[in-house]
Amino acid sequence: MGLDVKWAQEWLRLSAKAMSEHRVELIELDRPIGDSDHGENMDRGFQAVLQKLDESPPETAGAALKAAAMALMSKVGGAAGPLYGTAYLRAATSLGRATEIDADALAAALIAARDGIVARGKAEVGDKTMIDAWTPAVDAAMNAASTGQEPSAVLAAAAEAAEAGAKSTDPLVARKGRASYLGDRSAGHRDPGAASTALLLRAAAEAAAGPADGAGADAG
């Protein structure tokens, strides 16, 4: 069974809930290697996303993600706003005006989102950025879709891989962004963008699974 606009809206609402609940955690992750503002920025940005959804309910999943992109680009400071905004915009473009999203379309949208972040931020796996969560998530989604799994299973696989990817940033030395200025001192800290990516993809999986299976977002 495919996903639709209701799923996209629930994904964004659960994302806003996760950013609010994990705001302090993300701030603390950002404190030693960044500007200490990632949690605050993401919480503020997703509150703006909620406002957009309430003001103008979208008719398609693509329209919902495009609205999210616009809100995040205008409200989220630092690198996260442009990067996440680009991700949601590329995903929205990939989905187009489809009213039902199957596993292949979903995987393609996640690929588009990841590729948008890469194009904007020029990061690759191992640089200690959100790409360390996004790329394994995309790989897992592609594998699940290629083996005929349902969209909910595709997202569950992506979320699990993103959580593992976020954890994998702990020992890495940052090669991109503000954290790279610290050199070896950036090792031993989880990248906050990878952590928020894991939260957002877990929210997507929970929205697809429905309330019976949603157990609360966890970055790991």
Rounded (5°) CA angle 24-113-178: 45
Under the banding of pLDDT at 50, 70 and 90, the label for residue 1 is: low
Tokens of residue 73, six digits: 């680009």
Burial 206-219 (b: 16+ CB within 10 A, else e): bbbbeeeebeebeb
Look over the chain and give the mean of its residue pLDDT values, rounded to a whole number.
Answer: 94
What are 22-72's pLDDT values in tens digits?
999 999 999 999 989 999 999 999 999 999 999 999 999 999 999 999 999
What are 50-64's pLDDT values in tens digits?
999 999 999 999 999
Classify 5-207 by CATH class.
Answer: mainly alpha
Q: Give the separation between CA 113 and CA 89, rounded to whole angstroms.
A: 8
Please name the residues in contact with 100: beta carbons below 8 A apart, sequence gap of 6 or more.
2, 3, 4
Tokens of residue 12, six digits: 């964004």
Q: Is the pLDDT of residue 214 over 80?
A: no
Query: What average pLDDT does range 153-164 have in this prediction?
Result: 98
